[in-house]
Amino acid sequence: MHARVKVLVRAFEMLADEAQWAQGAGAIDRNGTPVKPTDRRAVAWCAVGALERAAGNDDELFEACLEYLQKASLQLFRCDPAVINDNTNHRGLIEMYTRAIQLANRNRPFGSARPVFTPRRAQERALARTHLRLVSGAMPMAAAGGAR
């Protein structure tokens, strides 16, 4: 997989679990306090914060991936990824990342292998992990959205 696709996929996988998605801040810690996306205490990220975390210290790679995310958000919603993150639901976020990954896959270098990643598969894995934590008792029902 091309480096840009890898970073977008890594960020997508971070956000596939809705519990790891933040709105109104680049990242938050377990107490809900805003922190830098690269901070080791971060447990949830916004759309752009997850991308920053996934790119690490590579600013060029981050900027290239951000362009795909911006193109995707403009195509789907006609606004910036940060606006989508803070003003839509989790499904909209997933759609935006799915589209960004598709765009990055189209622009991979000639002769590179076809990626095996599919956003749906990553989302299914995240849901399965959440279900496993619920079943094993590692996650309280209220935290998983089970209590009303």
Place 125 in a pLDDT band, splitting at 50, 70 and 90: low
Q: Where are the alpha helices (DSSP H) in 78-108?
A: 81-87, 90-106
Based on the structure, what is the number of domains in the chain?
1
Between 84-93, 98-107, 134-143, the lowest mean confidence (pLDDT) is in 134-143
pLDDT value of position 128: 55
pLDDT value of position 108: 59
Residue 11 counted as domain residue: yes
Q: What is the spatial distance between Cα 97 and Cα 143, in angstroms, rounded to a whole number?
A: 25
Residue 146 counted as domain residue: no
pLDDT value of position 136: 46
pLDDT averaged over every residue in the chain? 83
Radius of gyration of the chain (CA): 15
| Contact yes or no for 78/88 (Cβ under 8 A) | no
Place 11 in a pLDDT band, splitting at 50, 70 and 90: very high
Mean pLDDT in residue range 118-125? 59
Place 148 in a pLDDT band, splitting at 50, 70 and 90: very low
Q: What is the pLDDT of residues 21-62, one digit of tens each?
A: 999 999 999 999 999 999 999 999 999 999 999 999 999 999
Domain that holds residue 51: 3-136
Q: Say what the pTM is.
A: 0.72
Q: 106 or 11, which is more confident?
A: 11
Residue 144 counted as domain residue: no
- Residues with Cβ within 8 Å of 25's Cβ and at least 6 positions away in sequence, in order, are 34, 46, 49
The long-range contacts involving 40-45, CB below 8 angstroms and separated by at least 24 positions, are 44/19, 44/20, 45/11, 45/14, 45/15, 45/20, 45/21
- Residues with Cβ within 8 Å of 124's Cβ and at least 6 positions away in sequence, in order, are none
pLDDT value of position 107: 73
Which residue(s) pair with 45 in the sheet?
A: 21, 27
